[in-house]
Structure 1
Amino acid sequence: MGRFIFSKEYKFIHCGYTDAFPERAVEKLGLDEVKLNSEIAKRAVLRSDRSNSRLYMQVYESAKRHLARQEYGAAATLFQFFLKQYPGDTCAQNSRGFCLIPDSPSEAGDIIQDALKRGLTNRCLGYYNLCCCLILQHDYDSALRTAEKYWLEFRNNDDICEALIWEIQDGECTLCDSKNVQLSLVDLCVSISEKIDDKARLHSWISRKNVFIENEKCDIDTESKC
């Protein structure tokens, strides 16, 4: 939101543009133009997301090959080099953390958490990755609370997406292509709740999964009638 506000302040200072506001309702403040321009430029760079760029996809595919060989540090280093060219790219930052999850879940969690704070677009993937970090550190309660936070605060405003994720079984990480990261998060929470025998949370997450399945059936029925 802040980026759009600053851009309108810039237009007002340089062009007198007031958008939908009448001129009498806008009060000109003594803003430092140099600082304003610097802040706009900084935010444009730091909030950039080049996940669809050719370079990013090359890095991504190379990292996948390293991950398949369990070369987690090498995979993470590729994204680290990318981030030196495009500092603050939250998608690349999340991907770097993702690569480190099997070997260094604590470090990975810090990197992913920072990407979320900086405005990671795909919040569900970020929160799923955070949960994986916490599970590998045997902090199951925090993993469930993290998932709950996403579900209650961000889920309704988040797009359903496909992504490469880690599936965790008995402390082992396996690469998996998820067709729906939100549903993968639900399955993960069902598994954790069963593991720690938390019946209340298990009931809650199973109910959410059932709603998900019903919604998908409705979508399929709707498409078949079209």
Structure 2
Amino acid sequence: MDDPFDARKVMLNDHERPFTSWRTVSLVTALRSALMRDTGSGSPEAHDQATYLRQITDELTARGLDGDSLVRFGLGPELASAVLGQAMPYWLPALRVVPGPAAEHDPDPEPEPPWPHPQTWESVLGPLLEAEKGLTRDLDASRTNIEQVVGAVMSMAYPWALSAPLDDLLALKPPSVEQLRSARQEPRPDTSVLEEYRWIINRFAETHLSDWSTPSLHREHKWRAGHYPAPCPESLMPDRDIVDHDLNAEIARRAVDAGPSTTHAGRPAGLNRTMLSKLSMRALDLLRIGRTRDAAALFEFALNESPHDAELLNNLGFCLIPDDPRAALSRLEEAIQRGYEHIAINLYNRALCRLLLGDLRGCIYMITEAWPLGEGELASLWSPGPHGLKLAQPVDTQHELARLAHRAASTLGDLDAAEYWSAIVDRQP
């Protein structure tokens, strides 16, 4: 039996070869992945990335795919989200992940300018957002403020993505204030054009059909039935095979239950999910430095945008564990009901909530009922200790579940259960 399709694995298999021998899946996946990375505009890394991406777009054009249009029309959501990732922390200081010594150790810190140096996204967007949206720097990271900043930045970044020169897009080069204003006056392409190019991105770079936009699913279905043209040369389409049963099941699921891929009215296909992916990355950065409340605020906003997303529900529950295990447990239980895929991780988090709430028997019972779990999975988990919870990463979930059950049994004074789980912990590497 063939392994299931994984766009990233395909790309990694091609990585050491010249672009001309890459699969189309690899080229489109590399293009999308690079634009989602956090690379500061104007940095040497950004210049190198722009050169790399230009080579990819040139190769796609040589294969009959217009690389320029694919970037601006198909990857507009990724470009706008990349701008959001760079600019958002300047309005929400809680989201500035700056490791190192605190600023108060400097006896004579230089005053911070109202905006960063010219030709950064913050310096371009700052005056516009202040003048037009009434946004000032250093807002609290509440859900309302996050929603306000995200909406304002996206409303300005997306028109830029549709009209800027290709090399500026690939380097995420900020425009001038005048250019940004002008971009917002440009006529937008017809929605069907944007959906057509998004279909190409979904088909070649999105592993799971659940992450495709609904228009992409419908176009794929009609093309396979012979009722719609391919979005690229027909010779490229076999590079990724789609299983009819899986496609039909996802279309049916969308029709019955508006799930995590639902697109908000007025937003281009893919923008909502791409934006939430960028915010989730920032939230995980905050968790790593102990800013659980700020990370939770990001996931609360994300869930407001996509309330049925199982992964967002699980991640919000994970953020809430140190501060509110009861609320965390509710979110984690909802995530598993919604089909969250990483069952062992979710089980550990729910069992930990039970332990923190004093339900030691409930903690042991949950783990015992599910044991054994099969092959372990590496994950970042909260580990209880004498001084509270500590983020351990990455650790084996199965091993940590056994340790958690042993801890609960020992605290409860259940010597038989403690001995049983202790033996399991000792047997594991």
TM-score, with normalisation over the residues of structure 1? 0.65
DSSP-derived class of the 2:413 partner? coil
Q: Which residue of 2 aligns with 1:32?
A: none
Match of 1:181 among 385, 389, 397: 397
In the alignment, is the contact (CA less than 8 A) between 1:47 and 1:88 conserved in 2?
no
Distance 1:179 1:56 in 2: 26
Q: Is 1:112 aligned with 2:338? A: no
Distance 2:422 2:255 in 1: 46
Match of 1:200 among 405, 408, 416: 416
DSSP-derived class of the 1:179 partner? strand
Q: Which residue of 1 aligns with 2:90?
A: none
Q: Unmatched 5+ residue regions in structure 2?
A: 1-220, 226-250, 263-272
Which structure would you say has the larger Rg? Answer: 2
Map Cα deviations across residues 73-128 of structure 1 (whole Å, 9 max, x no partner): 22112122222333322122101000001110000001101111222111111111
Count of aligned pairs: 173
Distance 1:184 1:47 in 2: 33
Q: Which residue of 2 aligns with 1:147?
A: 367
Q: Is 1:129 aligned with 2:349? A: yes
In the alignment, is the contact (CA less than 8 A) between 1:47 and 1:119 conserved in 2?
no
Q: Which residue of 2 aligns with 1:92?
A: 312
**RCO higher in structure (CA 8 A, sep ≥6):** 2
In the alignment, is the contact (CA less than 8 A) between 1:178 and 1:184 conserved in 2?
no
DSSP-derived class of the 2:376 partner? coil
Q: Which residue of 2 aligns with 1:25?
A: none
In the alignment, is the contact (CA less than 8 A) between 2:381 and 2:395 conserved in 1?
no
DSSP-derived class of the 2:392 partner? strand
Distance 2:378 2:325 in 1: 22
In the alignment, is the contact (CA less than 8 A) between 2:314 and 2:335 conserved in 1?
yes
- After TM superposition, give the deviation of residue 148 of structure 1 in Å: 1.5
In the alignment, is the contact (CA less than 8 A) between 2:317 and 2:331 conserved in 1?
yes
- After TM superposition, give the deviation of residue 65 of structure 1 in Å: 3.6
Q: Which residue of 2 aligns with 1:167?
A: 383
Q: Which residue of 1 aligns with 2:212?
A: none
Distance 1:55 1:64 in 2: 15
Q: Which residue of 2 aligns with 1:81?
A: 301
Q: Which residue of 1 aligns with 2:259?
A: 45
The structure in which a higher percent of residues are helix is: 1
Distance 1:96 1:144 in 2: 24
Map Cα deviations across residues 202-226 of structure 1 (whole Å, 9 max, x no partner): 122233334544xxxxxxxxxxxxx
Amino acid at match of 1:201: A
In the alignment, is the contact (CA less than 8 A) between 1:45 and 1:88 conserved in 2?
yes
RMSD: 3.1
Distance 2:320 2:343 in 1: 18
In the alignment, is the contact (CA less than 8 A) between 1:136 and 1:171 conserved in 2?
no
- After TM superposition, give the deviation of residue 44 of structure 1 in Å: 7.3
Amino acid at match of 1:146: M
Distance 2:420 2:280 in 1: 35
Distance 1:165 1:100 in 2: 13
TM-score, with normalisation over the residues of structure 2? 0.36
Amino acid at match of 1:130: R
Q: Which residue of 2 aligns with 1:31?
A: none
Match of 1:103 among 323, 326, 329: 323
Amino acid at match of 1:71: R
In the alignment, is the contact (CA less than 8 A) between 2:380 and 2:393 conserved in 1?
yes
Cα gap change, 1:56 to 1:79, in 2 (>3 Å)? same
Amino acid at match of 1:172: G
Identity %: 23
Q: Unmatched 5+ residue regions in structure 1?
A: 1-10, 16-36, 214-226
DSSP-derived class of the 2:341 partner? coil
Q: Which residue of 2 aligns with 1:33?
A: none
